[in-house]
Amino acid sequence: GESVGLHLPTLSVQEGDNSIINCAYSNSASDYFIWYKQESGKGPQFIIDIRSNMDKRQGQRVTVLLNKTVKHLSLQIAATQPGDSAVYFCAENSLNYGGATNKLIFGTGTLLAVQP
Amino acid sequence: DGGITQSPKYLFRKEGQNVTLSCEQNLNHDAMYWYRQDPGQGLRLIYYSQIVNDFQKGDIAEGYSVSREKKESFPLTVTSAQKNPTAFYLCASSESVSTNEKLFFGSGTQLSVL
CB contact under 8 Å between B97 and A102, yes or no, is yes
CB-based contacts of B31, cutoff 8 Å, min separation 6: A102, B48, B49, B50, B51, B93, B94, B95, B96, B97, B101
Interface of A with B (CB under 8 A): 4, 31-32, 34, 36, 41-46, 49, 51, 89, 93, 95, 98, 100-109
Interface test with B, best of A50, A104, A105, A108 (most B CBs within 10 A): A104
Report the share of chain A in percent with pLDDT over 90: 66
Which of B97, B98, B108 has the CB atom closest to A43's CB atom? B108
Q: What does the pLDDT look like over A44-82, one tens digit per residue?
A: 999 999 999 999 999 999 999 999 999 999 999 999 999
Interface test with A, best of B43, B46, B51, B94 (most A CBs within 10 A): B43
Q: How many angstroms separate the CA of residue B90 from the nearest CA in chain A? A: 7
CB contact under 8 Å between A31 and B106, yes or no, is no
The pLDDT assigned to A2 comes to 34
Whether residue A96 is predicted with pLDDT greater than 70 in this model: the reply is no
Which of B94, B105, B110 has the CB atom closest to A44's CB atom? B105
Classify A70 in phi/psi space as left (phi over 0), alpha (psi -120 to 50) or beta: alpha
Whether residue A89 is predicted with pLDDT greater than 50 in this model: the reply is yes
Helix (H, G, I), strand (E, B), or coil: what is residue A84? Answer: helix
Whether residue A101 is predicted with pLDDT greater than 70 in this model: the reply is no
Distances (CA, A) of B39 to A111, B54, B59, B89: 12, 30, 18, 12
Asked if residues A107 and A40 have their Cβ atoms less than 8 Å apart, the reply is: no
The pLDDT assigned to A9 comes to 85
CB contact under 8 Å between A102 and B99, yes or no, is yes
Per-residue pLDDT of chain B (114 residues; tens, 9 = 90+): 449 999 999 999 988 899 999 999 999 999 999 999 998 788 999 999 999 999 999 999 999 999 999 999 999 999 999 989 999 999 999 987 665 578 899 999 999 988
Size of interface A-B (CB pairs under 8 A): 64
CB contact under 8 Å between A102 and B31, yes or no, is yes
